[in-house]
Structure 1
Amino acid sequence: NALPEMRERQQLIMKFLILTGCRSTEIRTAKWEWFDLMDQTWTIPASDYKTGKSVRRALPDAVVKMMKSHKETSLSKHVVTLSRYKGPEDDRPPLQPNVALFSAQIISKTGMKPWSLHDLRRTVATRLSELGAPPHVVEKLLGHHMAGVMARYNLHDYIDDQRHWLAVWQNHLEKLVGHPLV
């Protein structure tokens, strides 16, 4: 309920986090070149990912629609820029402390108990598991790399399974809020 009152870039970040379960840093620093909106995927290159390995993830329909709409007016290489973006020389992502305040804004407007942006990640993982998503798909959706033998021998990204479970998640959220998310 608090999202429509937020600025467009704040809404984009919050909806992206809620719909994908990604880390706030991943959308905060994202570049348009990482997204293939036709294929409904995004790939964070190894140079920009915390593990030093690239990761490819699916995007739900609502995120693709939101990103396409946002891209129409974007003048930067970053998906999200500073709130006072002045042009190509100022093309840099917002700072993490500023983005971290988005949850505090929502909390103050709604009276919710305190939570952090990272808590959204935990919520997505937990709720997807409750909806029946297999653990390995949840791990891939979160951008985690497999452990143990799977890390060495199973390099599949389960992108079709990611798409399916993100659609289930989007549908679940839309039922909860009573309207489409985009």
Structure 2
Amino acid sequence: MFEGDRKRMHLGRYPSMSLAEAREVHGKALADVERGVDPGAVAREAKRARKAAPTFGELLDELWDIELRHKKSGAETRRLMDHDVTPAWGKRRVQDITRRDVVLLLDSIRARAPITANRVHGALGRAFNFAAERGIIVDSPCTRIRKPVEKPRERVLTDDEIRAFWRGLDSIDVYPATRLALRLILVTGQRPGEVAGMRWAEVADDWWTVPPERMKNGLEHGVPLVATALDLLEQARDFPGGDEYVFASSRGGGKKPITVRSLARSVTRHCEEMGIASRFTPHDLRRTLRTRLAELGVDDVVAEKVLGHQLQGILKVYNRHDYAAEKRAALLAWERRLRGILGLEGGKRKVVPLAGFKG
């Protein structure tokens, strides 16, 4: 009873709140009533204060609900923050986090992973700007913190490394779908994420159409599938559980695709085992194809269209050609070059089981 009115107060849920804790909260509420204080009003004010001054973890939840879950990169951004930021700041009030806190956190991440530090820097900048937009803080503590300029990667595999990569995939302990996906990146030049998430519904005859929502630039992209690519897809059909995804994960009963992280781990863990001294990433396979197209004399505009890049400047506005025939010719030229590197020159055009090639 408080001032003649009977009121109920929610203390908590068992077992997250023990009986001893419930008795303690109940005792404090009774003490408030005896002092003329409404414990319900106190609880409501505390809830309002928590909402007005959320913790960093609560800010991330709000950012996820309103913004991140609608973005293609949202899940990866959330994973990055949960891994590198939440353990340190999850329970801290957003308004208590200073620029110095941000600097020290980024320094600790940069000491072990410079590129990751830059990614976290960008994610934090957006999170704190979001907090300012929502009235949680006045200004972002990320302002005036310079982000180191990343040196563009230049890694391109040599002929010897391409042979070692292709053949080495057969001898290392790697998930079969991962093996095929890595080869498809080299054959088609598409982004690791686009290959990893490839769906059977996107493939028709000898074309692969990547929908806008899976493209970095938000535009539909057609990829010609040469014989080697078709052979890799045919092998993928033999894997159980891959009814939706071409490269289905071993987890979740084939309802999820393999991840870009799994592709990267397979390369970094087994690089030396494949006989390649200098480390490379799955994205370097894409860069290798782009470089080799230039060596083969493929026009830069065509090569960029193969990779799914937008044309720039006035070409972007007025050139609406789809370059379908030119892209196929470019990838056929690369396939011939790749077969030559692997020692498979000559012969009629047909599907060749390169995945089983041992040399």
**Is TM (by shorter chain) over 0.5?**
yes
Query: Cα offset for 1:160?
Result: 1.1
- Please state if 1:150 is matched with 2:315: yes
Deviation string, structure 1 residues 138-177 (Cα, Å, up to 9, x no partner): 0011011111111111122211111111111111111111
Equivalent of 1:8 in 144, 155, 176: 176
Query: Which residue is equivalent to 2:208?
Result: 42
Structure 2 length normalisation: TM-score?
Answer: 0.47
Structure of greater relative contact order (alpha carbons < 8 Å, 6+ residues apart): 1
Deviation string, structure 1 residues 15-74 (Cα, Å, up to 9, x no partner): 1011011110001111111111x2x21111112212111111212211012213323545
Q: Indicate if the aligned counterparts of 2:188 and 2:223 stay in contact, CA closer than 8 A.
A: no
AA of the residue aligned to 2:237 = K
Query: Cα offset for 1:96?
Result: 2.3
Query: Which residue is equivalent to 1:118?
Result: 283
- Please state if 1:56 is matched with 2:250: no
Query: Cα offset for 1:104?
Result: 1.3
Deviation string, structure 1 residues 115-136 (Cα, Å, up to 9, x no partner): 1111111111111101111101
4+ residue segments displaced more than 6 Å: none
Query: Which residue is equivalent to 2:327?
Result: 162
Q: Indicate if the aligned counterparts of 1:78 and 1:93 stay in contact, CA closer than 8 A.
A: yes
Larger Rg: 2
Equivalent of 2:253 in 86, 89, 93: 86
Query: Which residue is equivalent to 1:98?
Result: 262
Q: Distance in 1 between matches of 2:333 and 2:252?
A: 36
Q: Indicate if the aligned counterparts of 1:57 and 1:140 stay in contact, CA closer than 8 A.
A: no
Q: Indicate if the aligned counterparts of 2:193 and 2:259 stay in contact, CA closer than 8 A.
A: no
AA of the residue aligned to 2:299 = P
Unaligned runs of 5+ in 2: 1-166, 345-351
Q: Distance in 2 between matches of 1:48 and 1:96?
A: 13
Q: Indicate if the aligned counterparts of 2:189 and 2:306 stay in contact, CA closer than 8 A.
A: yes
Q: CA RMSD in A?
A: 1.8
